[in-house]
């Protein structure tokens, strides 16, 4: 009985966490899909989003939910500037150059943030109550984070499938030369995709604070970068939806396996949950080497 209760609540927590992982990875996948650039500085943009939420709350008492659109616009702007300044020179450049450049951008942003905001761990407290649902105790802000994540993913999906620009981006992902032949301005698509990718990532930083409003620090992005890589590989690298679904599954496995591992005497279940999540990745890749929703390259 206790086991069942644990499993149910952990799967629930896992689903909530997974949705955040999902949105936090979509930007990475989008940028890779369109520009074939791996953004090693990914986590720094999540950090920017978290600090945006923190400052908006601290200075103007704006709840994180209201900061989501602000962060998106802010992220689009940062993405556009980064693209014009650096990334646009790197399309079709050797992989090492793009890795070094995005790594450099990440360090630049982190150090700049440290100069401005300091190295302290900050946080805020936005309480909107707690939900008690059988064995589950969870704050409403986490549930809100979940719904916002799903909404963001759904809106992005609609935009990609129903609008001309969205279709153009998908066309470039599928076949760059073909897209050029069809009259699509590929350079504009590159700029747009990179901006949207960064915008999404900064936005996901706000969702992260909705989920955990403490421990905000200029170096917090590193852990997310690592997980985002794993999740995007799992999802199929160039597919933002794959990333969202993979993030969701990753969260479920990470937290859900805790209840099962806890039954084994003498093990530290938390240390093993990551092992289980990575083993799961390995199995998926063995069965489907291109990831869950990846194209066959």
Tokens (6 digits) for 271? 């240390």
Residue 90 CA to its chain's centroid (Å): 23
Smaller CB separation from another protein, 147 or 270: 270
Smaller CB separation from another protein, 1 or 96: 1
Q: Return the residue matching tokens 């704050």.
A: 139
Tokens (6 digits) for 170? 């998908």
Residue 260 lies near another protein (rule: CB under 8 A): no
Residue 43 lies near another protein (rule: CB under 8 A): no
For 24-90, the DSSP string reads HHHHHHHHHHHH----TTHHHHHHHHHHHHHHHHHHH---HHHHHHHHHHHHHHHHHHHHHHTGGGT
Query: Is there a contact between 231 and 46 (Cβ–Cβ < 8 Å)?
Result: no
How many CB atoms lie under 10 A from the CB of residue 133? 11
Among 19, 25, 149, 255, binds another protein (CB under 8 A): 255
Residue 279 lies near another protein (rule: CB under 8 A): no
Residue 139 lies near another protein (rule: CB under 8 A): yes
Per the rule left: phi > 0, alpha: psi between -120 and 50, beta: everything else, 94 is beta
- The radius of gyration computed from the CA coordinates of the chain, to the nearest angstrom, equals 19
Residue 222 lies near another protein (rule: CB under 8 A): yes
Smaller CB separation from another protein, 135 or 166: 135
Q: Residue 210 Cβ, how far from another protein at the closest point, in Å?
A: 12
Residue 127 lies near another protein (rule: CB under 8 A): yes
Tokens (6 digits) for 113? 């943030």
Residue 55 lies near another protein (rule: CB under 8 A): no
Q: Return the residue matching tokens 């952990």.
A: 10
Among 259, 281, 292, 293, binds another protein (CB under 8 A): 259
Query: Is there a contact between 122 and 221 (Cβ–Cβ < 8 Å)?
Result: no
How would you classify the pairing of strands 130-133 and 136-139?
antiparallel
Among 88, 114, 274, 288, binds another protein (CB under 8 A): 274
Residue 17 lies near another protein (rule: CB under 8 A): yes
Among 81, 85, 121, 161, binds another protein (CB under 8 A): 121
CA atoms of 74 and 49, how far apart (whole Å):
9
Residue 138 lies near another protein (rule: CB under 8 A): yes
State which of positions 181-220 bind another protein (CB under 8 A): 208, 211-215, 217, 220
> What angle is formed at CA 81 by the lines to CA 77 and CA 83, rounded to 5 degrees?
115
Among 183, 268, 286, 296, binds another protein (CB under 8 A): 268
Query: For another protein, which stretch binds (CB under 8 A), given 85-93, 114-122, 148-156, 194-202?
Result: 114-122
Q: Return the residue matching tokens 């630049």.
A: 108
Count Cα atoms within 13 angstroms, Cβ side, for 214.
Answer: 2
Among 70, 93, 122, 285, binds another protein (CB under 8 A): 122
CA atoms of 265 and 118, how far apart (whole Å):
43
Residue 114 lies near another protein (rule: CB under 8 A): no
Query: Is there a contact between 178 and 15 (Cβ–Cβ < 8 Å)?
Result: no
Among 124, 157, 229, 280, binds another protein (CB under 8 A): 124
Residue 264 lies near another protein (rule: CB under 8 A): no
Q: Which residues bind another protein (CB under 8 A)?
A: 2, 6, 9-10, 13-14, 17, 120-125, 127, 130, 137-139, 142, 208, 211-215, 217, 220, 222-223, 255, 258-259, 262, 268-271, 273-274
């Amino acid at each position: 009985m206790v086991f069942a209760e644990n499993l149910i609540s952990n799967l629930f927590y896992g689903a909530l966490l997974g949705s955040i992982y999902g949105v936090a990875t979509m930007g990475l996948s989008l940028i890779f899909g369109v520009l074939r650039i791996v953004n090693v500085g990914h986590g720094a943009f999540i950090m920017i989003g978290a600090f945006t939420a923190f400052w908006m709350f601290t200075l103007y008492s704006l709840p994180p939910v209201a900061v989501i659109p602000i962060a998106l616009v802010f992220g689009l702007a940062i993405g556009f500037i980064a693209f014009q300044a650096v990334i646009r020179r790197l399309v079709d450049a050797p992989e090492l150059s793009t890795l070094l450049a995005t790594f450099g951008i990440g360090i630049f942003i982190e150090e700049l943030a440290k100069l401005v905001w300091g190295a302290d761990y900050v946080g805020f407290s936005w309480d909107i109550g707690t939900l008690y649902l059988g064995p589950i105790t969870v704050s409403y802000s986490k549930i809100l984070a979940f719904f916002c994540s799903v909404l963001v993913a759904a809106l992005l999906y609609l935009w990609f499938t129903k609008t001309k620009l969205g279709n153009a981006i998908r066309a470039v992902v599928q076949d760059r030369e073909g897209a050029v032949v069809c009259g699509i301005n590929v350079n504009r698509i590159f700029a747009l995709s990179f901006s949207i990718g960064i915008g999404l990532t900064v936005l996901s930083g706000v969702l992260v604070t909705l989920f955990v409003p403490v421990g905000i620090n200029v170096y917090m992005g590193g852990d997310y970068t690592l997980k985002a890589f794993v999740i995007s590989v799992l999802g199929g690298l160039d597919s933002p939806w794959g990333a969202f679904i993979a993030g969701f599954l990753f969260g479920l496995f990470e937290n859900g396996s805790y209840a099962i591992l806890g039954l084994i005497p003498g093990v530290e279940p938390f240390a093993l949950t990551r092992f289980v999540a990575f083993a799961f990745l390995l199995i998926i890749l063995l069965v489907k080497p291109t990831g869950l929703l990846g194209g066959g390259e």
